[in-house]
Amino acid sequence: MGGQYRITGDKYPRMRRPRRRGKLVVLTVASVAVLGVGGWGTLQLIDVFTGGGDSASAAGTKAACGIGAKPSASPAGAAEPVPRPGTITVNVLNATTRGGLAQKTADELKKRGFRIGEVANAPATFDKKVKGTGVLLGPAAALDTALPVLGTQLAGAERRTDPARKGAALDLIIGDAFRGLTAKAAADKALTALANPEPAAASKKNC
């Protein structure tokens, strides 16, 4: 250096190692994570030993299965009980060109427990205009009560209601495709199923 600079004193600068700040940050984050997991585990153990979770699950299961529920009144508009054939009056009307069908059908329905009203030819509205097995006609109130019961006796018959119709009697109007009532054994089976519907299996599967 040409003798222009001199080192004086007996102390020299010391070289320090750079601080590893990255390691400190990682250790801090890891510590926080461990504490968090430990706290969550503690809460889970408390729930297990106190039965907190099981109580809620059990309550939900019981509610879904209807266990312990108080009986309530039937809601407005609930389905009415299926009427017995002996309470249903049927008018048997022939809309075909084949004679004697109305009387023969009425006699068979009577044997099966139905009340028989009028036995005659169909009115002009239906005469020679029913191509299927038949039409079952009744008041609006019979749609989900008496009509399904009569429907068990003639499979494939069309069901209709007339809001202006008076009285509770039903009309069984015989159509061109009519070959007779449903076999009694099959009709009885359908009637039993109608009167005693099976509960939905899915709702009680896990009860």
Give the C-alpha separation, 136 to 151, whole Å. 7
Which ranges constitute the DSSP H helices of the chain?
21-50, 52-65, 101-111, 146-151, 184-195
Nearest CA to 82 out of 152, 20, 176 is that of 152
- Cβ contact 178:96 at 8 Å: yes
Q: List the chain pLDDT tens, one digit each, 207 residues.
A: 455 555 555 555 555 555 555 556 556 656 655 555 555 555 554 454 455 555 544 555 554 455 554 444 444 445 568 999 999 999 999 999 999 999 999 999 999 999 999 999 999 999 999 999 999 999 999 999 999 999 999 999 999 999 999 999 999 999 999 999 999 999 999 999 999 987 654 455 555
H or E, element range at 129: none
Place of tokens 């002009």: 124
Ordered by start, the domain boundaries in the chain are 89-195
**pLDDT at res. 121:** 98
**pLDDT at res. 81:** 82
**pLDDT at res. 103:** 98
Give the C-alpha separation, 166 to 142, whole Å. 12
The pair phi, psi for residue 65, each rounded to 5°, is -90, -5
**pLDDT at res. 198:** 74
Please identify, in words, the CATH class of the domain defined by 89-195: alpha beta
**pLDDT at res. 206:** 57
Give the C-alpha separation, 166 to 141, whole Å. 11
The amino acid occupying position 183 is A
Mapping DSSP to helix (H, G, I), strand (E, B) and coil, where does residue 58 land?
Answer: helix
- Cβ contact 165:138 at 8 Å: yes
The alpha carbon dihedral of 47, 53, 56, 58 has a sign of: negative
How far does the chain reach from its first CA to its final CA, in angstroms? 97
